[in-house]
Amino acid sequence: MRKLIYQLHLILGIFVSIPVLAWALSGFLYALPNTVEGGAVEKIDSARVKVSPGEAIVKARELAGKALPTTALTLLMKDGRPQYQSVGGLGADSIFIDAETGDARMSAQPTWKTRFFREAHFYFFAGSWQVTLLLLFSGLAALSAITGIYLNIVYWSRKFRRRPARE
């Protein structure tokens, strides 16, 4: 039984490690704005914010021409100006609303690096299979972890088990 679980663990490790590695690396690089986006993280100048979050959502809806299911509204400094970024209902695109003037514009097309990391990190490349692949790889990763835990328990319990004294 232990040999079967060991072999299963090794096989799962091969299948799970590649997508998990891609996901981890893309998430790591995606978290560094200078690496992927080419921008910098700046401190928000709150004195320059004149538009409320509610007004920003209205401006985003006006630009889109429909009521958007906004899932995130983030205030950030972009190009030296305070801006809201409205996300939701547009796929991978977003709308930027200037927090001083209220001017809204669609986000610029992402660079090839940004598109690559979004595709890799969020499995956008999979289309309608995105959720299925995420669930499949999550299940395989969980099974790999469970078999690894079992093998460690068996290994360490045998290692520390008392051996009979020699006569």
pLDDT at residue number 105: 93
Return the closest-CA partner of residue 23 out of 145, 118, 93.
118
Return the closest-CA partner of residue 6 out of 161, 155, 125, 164.
155
pLDDT at residue number 167: 58
Q: Residue 20 — left, alpha, or beta (φ > 0 → left; ψ -120 to 50 → alpha)?
A: alpha
pLDDT at residue number 100: 95
pLDDT at residue number 90: 56
pLDDT at residue number 51: 95
What six digits make up the tokens of 57? 């959502």
Of the options 3.30.420, 1.10.3470, 3.10.450, 3.30.70, the CATH number for the domain spanning 39-109: 3.10.450
Sign of the CA dihedral with 128 first, then 133, 139, and 142 last: negative
Place of tokens 């490690």: 17
DSSP 8-state code for residue 48: G
21-24's contacts with Cβ under 8 Å and 24+ in sequence apart are: 22/120, 23/120, 23/121
For residue 85, give Cα distances in angstroms to 16, 106, 115, 117, 143: 34, 10, 18, 19, 38
Residue 36, number of CB atoms within 10 A of its CB: 19
pLDDT at residue number 114: 73
Weakly modelled stretches of the chain, pLDDT under 70: 29-40, 89-92, 162-167
Whether residue 119 contacts residue 28, with contact meaning beta carbons closer than 8 Å, is answered with no
Residue 18, number of CB atoms within 10 A of its CB: 11
**∠17-37-120 over CA atoms, to 5°?**
25
Global pTM reads 0.53
pLDDT at residue number 96: 93
pLDDT at residue number 111: 77
